[in-house]
Amino acid sequence: MGLRKSKFIISREIQSLAIALLVMVTTSCTTVKIGIELLLRDLDGSALIENEGQVKDILETILFAPVNYTMIGYTRQVFSPELRRTQSLYHSFYTITDNKMSFFTLSFSGTKKKTKSIGVWAINTESDTKSYYSYKYGANEWDVQMIRVNKGINTEMTIKEIIYRIDNNINYYYNDHKRNKNGRENCNTALQNTLVENN
């Protein structure tokens, strides 16, 4: 009996890997490669954590002359366009553009491929940048959509909200939009909770 029980005891990691491999078996080689990268990659979480101090410095610099910057919010599908099975999932990010039309992206991200992890604000992540360029200059494969705000985003107050979250170590929780835990946000609720509209 004990032996039979032990056969059914499988770790969460093995279960997740088995499910992912089962899904990937029925897809193309490209999707398999991307799927494996998503499973094994750790989002380079330590680098994102180290860079958050620089993100804060950049945002504080903008506060010296916030009228010279425009913020716009966007949503996009979560993963690369090759993973068509995930279109129902979406991610939110900002662009911040100066009066010379140079811009960068900004979003809240988890640092691990887990439902809960340390959360960081990150500038110009690969997927945000690629999706935005596709939206502006390509076929919009990531299904990027601008978030409509009647009077526009108040750059100064929105950045202050983001800096507050950086200073108070808000953590990442993937299901925050369902359970709304104190001290945790996901990429979508982080944008919703920091976006301040102009008066």
According to the model, what pLDDT value does residue 178 have? Answer: 61
Task: Give mean pLDDT, residues 87-99.
Answer: 85
Q: Please give the mean pLDDT across all residues of the chain.
A: 76
Q: Rounded distance, CA 190 to CA 121, Å? A: 10
Residues in the chain: 199
**Are 86 and 77 a contacting pair, CB within 8 Å?**
yes
The whole-number pLDDT of residue 21 equals 39
**Helices and strands (H, E) in the chain, number of each type:** 8, 8
Q: Is 90 helix (H, G, I), strand (E, B) or coil?
A: strand
Handedness of CA 174, 177, 178, 183 (dihedral sign): positive
Prediction pTM value: 0.73
Q: Nearest Cα to 144, choosing from 125, 131, 163, 129?
A: 131
How many beta carbons lie within 10 A of that of residue 40, not counting itself? 9
- Is the pLDDT reported for residue 44 higher than 70? no
Q: Which amino acid is at 61?
A: T
Q: Name the packing angle between helices 12-25 and 29-40 (round to 10°).
A: 160
Whether residue 87 is predicted with pLDDT greater than 50 in this model: the reply is: no
* Rounded CA separation 148/49 (Å): 30
pLDDT digits (tens, 9 = 90+) for 101-120: 889 999 998 777 777 777 88
What is the number of other CB atoms lying within 10 angstroms of the CB of residue 182?
A: 6
